[in-house]
Amino acid sequence: MNRVLAAARLQLVHPMVILGVPWMVGALSFAINWAVWRIVDIRSLEGEDGFTGGILALYITVLIVFVQAVTQLMPFAMGISLSRRSYFLGTCLVGVGMALGFGLVLALLDAVESATGGWGVGLQFWTPPPLDVDGFFAQVAVSGAPMLALIAAGVGMGVVTKRWGPNGVWGLIIGGIVVLGGAAVLVTWLRAWTDLGRWLVDQSVMTLAVGLPLALAAVLALLAFAGIRRVVP
C-alpha cells in the first residue's frame, strides 16, 4: 500500500502539470466563449438557452495529461523501483481523486453560473444544459464520471503508445474507425437509427452521463492493467 501511495504522490510532485494545466486551458476556453457571448450578445438571440461545448477543452486536456503520465512519468517511476502494478494503482487513485475533485469544482461553478445568470451574459459553460441536473451531488457525479472515463482512456492510450509505439497508436486509431464505422453501417443496415435515438431519449441523464461512463472506465482500466504489465521503460 505504501508503494501505491508513493506512486500517487509522484503524480502530484508537479501539481501545475496535472492540476494547473487543465484548469488553465479550461479557463482560457471560458474566457474566449464569454467574450464571444458578450460581444455578439448571444443572449438576445437565443435567450437563456445558449450554451457551448467549450468545456470539452478541460476534459480533453485531462485525457492528455494521463497519456503523458504513462509515456513520460512511468519510466522514471520504474527507474526508482516502483513496480508497474504499484504505479498503475497509484495512477488510478489519483485519477479517481481528480475526477471527484473536478466534479466538485464544476458543480460549484455551475451554482455560481446559475446565480449570476450565466456570468451576466446568459452563457452556460461549465455544465451545458444536457448535463445540467438538479441536486449538487448529482451534478458532481454527472460532471465527474465522464472525466473518469477519459482518464481511463488516457491511461489506456498511454499504455498502447508505450508498449507498441507509433504502430500501436495507428492501430488504435484504425481500429476505432473500423469499430465505430462498422457499428454505423450495421445500424443503418438494420434501419435502427430511430430505435436507437428513441432508446437514448428514454434513458435518464444519470444512466448516460454516470452509469455508462463508469462502466466504460472500468473496462478501460482492466484493459490498461493487462497491457501495462508488459510495458518496458
pLDDT tens across 194-214, in order? 998 899 889 999 999 999 999
The per-residue pLDDT for 50 is: 65
In this prediction, residues 129-141 reach a mean pLDDT of: 91
Contacts of residue 9, Cβ cutoff 8 Å, sequence gap at least 6:
90
The per-residue pLDDT for 128 is: 87
Query: What pTM, to 2 d.p., does this model score?
Result: 0.92
Domain boundaries, the chain: 3-166+206-229
How far apart are the C-alpha atoms of 206 and 199, rounded to whole Å?
Answer: 14
Contacts of residue 70, Cβ cutoff 8 Å, sequence gap at least 6:
91, 154, 155, 158, 159, 161, 162, 228, 231
